[in-house]
């Protein structure tokens, strides 16, 4: 069995390629969907993010805004050492 990680820029065809892989019988694990699932309003993960970065990272509906160094900088949230590029690592508690 092979494991393939598919990455790419916005609108680069990742979803189209995933559909093809799925048609060929591949199991698709959508990391974005998994993250949205654990970061939903009221979740312990979202509470930990808000505790660390403050309520400025939330949208008015209580969901998490796009977390990137650019957004954090615009909101005036200090960028911690854990931020590398556009990668935010949430450590397992």
Predicted structure pTM score? 0.56
* Band of residue 8 on the pLDDT scale cut at 50, 70, 90: confident
Say if 53 falls within a structural domain: yes
Q: Say if residue 21 is in the same domain as residue 56.
A: no
The CA distance from 29 to 18, in Å, is 10
Q: Say if residue 86 is in the same domain as residue 45.
A: yes
DSSP result, 3-62: -------TTSSHHHHHHHHHHTT-----HHHHHHHHTSTT-HHHHHHHHHH-GGGB-TTS
Number of structural domains (the chain) is 2
- Give the structural domain span for 17: 1-29
Q: Tell me, what's the pLDDT at 65?
A: 81
Say if 34 falls within a structural domain: no
User: Looking at beta carbons, which pairs linking 36-40 to residues 24 or more positions away fall under 8 Å?
Assistant: 39/63, 39/64
Q: Would you state the structure tokens that stand for residue 93, as one six-digit string?
A: 């508690």
Say if 57 falls within a structural domain: yes
Q: Tell me, what's the pLDDT at 93?
A: 46
Q: Tell me, what's the pLDDT at 83?
A: 52
pLDDT tens, residue by residue, 22-60: 999 999 988 888 888 888 999 998 998 888 878 888 889
pLDDT tens, residue by residue, 57-87: 888 999 888 766 566 566 665 655 555 544 4
Q: Tell me, what's the pLDDT at 31?
A: 83
């Amino acid at each position: 069995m092979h494991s393939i990680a598919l990455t790419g820029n916005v609108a680069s065809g990742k979803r189209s390629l995933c559909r093809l892989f799925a048609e060929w019988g591949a199991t698709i694990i959508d990391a974005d969907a998994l993250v949205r699932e654990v970061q939903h309003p009221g979740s312990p993960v979202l509470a930990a993010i808000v505790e660390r970065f403050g309520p400025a990272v939330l949208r008015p509906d209580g969901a998490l805004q796009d977390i990137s160094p650019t957004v954090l900088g615009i909101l005036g949230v200090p960028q911690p050492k854990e931020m590398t590029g556009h990668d935010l690592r949430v450590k397992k508690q």
